[in-house]
Structure 1
Amino acid sequence: MNYEVRCSNVIVGFAIGTAAILAIIGGTLGRKAVEKIATALAMPSGMIWYVLTGLVLTAWISHQRKLAALLFVGWAMFSVAGNGIFVAWLVTTIEEPYVQIDPLQSEAYDVVVLLGGGTTIAANDRPQGNASGDRLILAAQLYHQGLAKRLICTGQRIESMDSVGIDPAQASSTVLQGLGVPESAIEQLGGRTTSEEMETLGKRFSDSGQRVGVVTSAWHLPRAMRLAIRNNFHPDPLPADFLSEPKRTLTTGETILSYIPSADSLHATTRVAKECLGMLVGR
């Protein structure tokens, strides 16, 4: 049997096997479960994973072992980075120290610092909350419930990397005012990186005697607090924007779905990887 025929047979067999697996899932878990799994496979990340799986099998059965090994490495990395179960463990590990903290049950703060990163600029030039916009919601809640006398919004754009023209601090301030926080209660502070922000905050609050809290995403807090302490700044961590979820037992359908890489899982892995890299280089 020549190479082309062998490859064709593998591809056909793989497709038939996929259809059989989906049929079995449909028979045990129902039509809606099959629709969700098929939709996940049809998404860009799912389709890439599915094609990579087929290529690994094709190369192996065709006795192209070196190519199969190379493809398998790529498949394994992509599978792990996008695996929902692995990502859940990863984000839970990094956010776990802050799970028991409820900022809205804390004592009042003289100042609450809202780290930049929770906004973006919409196509109509209106500042809006992004995927980390819970930072802004929490900061507004703290103010309206009398738990924050003043808010400091941080963040300065890196001009060579940002053509929008609005600093994160300014964008956060605009959104907060839209949420009912008066401009007089908001201060804007620069800082192009978390490291620069904490250096500035350390110089200002290290010996101030004020009660200060820092609002940022739970997955960002380990690095932010480490940099704060390095600059003799000891605020209370006020976590927002958790990526982890309450502990629960996944259903069979959820377990199957979690093995198909998704954009959400890859995004979460990217965020955690960036935080780990930042801690590794001390930034």
Structure 2
Amino acid sequence: MQNIDSYLFMLKKFLGSLMMPLPLVLLLLVWAVLMLLRKKTRWLGGIFTLLATALLFAASYAPIANRLIAPLEQEYPGYQVAAEPADYVAVLGHAHASSEIQPITSQLSPTGVVRVTEGIRIYRLNPGSKLIFSGDKFEEPFSYAEKSRQLAISLGVPAEDILLIEGVKDTAEETLALAAAYANSNLVLVTSASHMPRAMMLCSKVGLQPIPAPTNYLAKPVRKKLLFPSARTLAKTQYWAHEKLGQLWTRLTLHAGEKPTRAVSVQPASEDKAH
């Protein structure tokens, strides 16, 4: 059963990556070249070339990308201090790469650094609360949760105020683990603004009702009159496509009451872990 779950996870990641804007553009161009090699289908090759060019332009042009991603990011407002202090501040995982020669701020992805920083900010707004970091190793020597712990400690958070959820490989497993351990607590959930709608959808399916705290907003006001397509804007469109596909996958596959597909460790962080 675990092997089947692993294969489904890999299939989800493969199909999701294939459906991103840049791979789609490359597939259209490859198909266009094949069509252009034959006289009878050259007109079709021209159409595919135009489609690929139009898709690449739309995906990398800031006004279009912002109009796509802004509705996702605006679905939940930014965190405001509530009358009742939070018990826990859960920061969802992202990507990381361990390195002995790079500072901890470079071992977490830029998105991960923003999430951890926002989590620390909210933790400090709620005296007596604890931080929860989640994430798997993904072939690395240390988990994402452990690397987040290291960053938080380097920024002044006491180790005893940090809890780790390890062995969870995606948002679905993170929310299941949070629901199992903290369903009856006043919980704040920190993640990227574009990811928050899907995270809250998954929380709802497992009976968890956290306070949303979106961060890492990508849609920015466009003030320049002369704009050109850019790779940075293309990355924003990729986030949008990733979340839309993730929401579709969630609606199709996830059922309330589903259990994590592998062992999950929920534990306090300790000072004796490797740095």
Match of 1:92 among 57, 66, 70: 70
1:40-189 matched pairs, under 5 angstroms? 65-98=43-76, 100-103=77-80, 105-107=81-83, 108-117=85-94, 119-122=96-99, 124=101, 126-128=103-105, 129-132=108-111, 133-146=113-126, 149-158=129-138, 162=139, 164-189=140-165
Which residue is equivalent to 1:273? 241
**Aligned pairs for 1:250-265 within 5 A:** 250-253=223-226, 256-257=227-228, 260=229, 262-265=230-233
CA distance in 2: counterparts of 1:83 and 1:236, whole angstroms = 33
Return the offset for 1:147: 5.0
- Call closer, same or farther: CA 1:68–1:85 in 2, change over 3 Å: same
1:218 aligns with 2:197: no
Of 203, 209, 230, the residue aligned with 1:228 is: 203
Aligned pairs, how many? 213
**Distance (Å, rounded) in 1 between the aligned partners of 2:61 and 2:207:** 39
Percent identity for Structure 1 against Structure 2: 23
Give the TM-score taking structure 2 as reference length: 0.69
Q: Are the structure 2 counterparts of residues 120 and 238 from structure 1 closer, same or farther at C-alpha, using a change threshold of 3 Å? A: farther
| Deviations, residues 79-136 of structure 1 (Å, cap 9, x unaligned) | 11112111111110111112x3234x34420111011116543461543242212111
Q: 2:177 aligns with which of 200, 207, 224?
A: 200
Kept after mapping to 2: 8 A contact 1:143/1:181: no
Q: Give per-residue Cα distances to partners, 1:181-209, cap 9 Å, x unaligned.
A: 01000010021111011111112223x2x
2:148 partner letter: S
Aligned-partner Cα distance in 2 for 1:89–1:226: 22
Q: What's the offset of the Cα at 1:264?
A: 0.9
- RMSD across aligned C-alpha pairs, in angstroms? 2.7
Q: Which structure is larger by alpha-carbon Rg, 1 or 2?
A: 1
Q: What is the SS of the residue equivalent to 1:109? A: coil
**SS of the counterpart of 1:281?**
helix
Output the CA distance in 2 between the equivalents of 1:101 and 1:252. Answer: 29
**Alpha-carbon distance between aligned partners in 2 of 1:268 and 1:106, rounded to the nearest angstrom:** 31
Question: Residue 21 of structure 1 aligns with which residue?
Answer: none
What amino acid is aligned across from residue 130 of structure 1 in structure 2?
S
Q: For residues 122 and 272 of structure 1, do their structure 2 counterparts lie closer, same or farther at Cα, with a shift above 3 Å needed?
A: farther
Instruction: Tell me, in whole angstroms, the C-alpha distance in 2 between the residues paired with 1:271 and 1:148.
Output: 34
Unaligned runs of 5+ in 1: 1-44
Gaps of 5+ in 2: 1-21, 37-41, 255-275
Given that residues 142 and 148 in structure 1 are in contact (C-alpha distance below 8 angstroms), is that contact kept between their aligned partners in structure 2? no
Equivalent residues of 1:120, 1:127 under 8 A apart: no
SS in 1 for 2:75: helix
Cα distance in 1, alignment partners of residues 191 and 127 from structure 2: 16
Distance across 2 between alignment mates of 1:214 and 1:244: 21
Amino acid aligned to 2:136: Q
For 2:88, give the aligned amino acid.
Answer: V
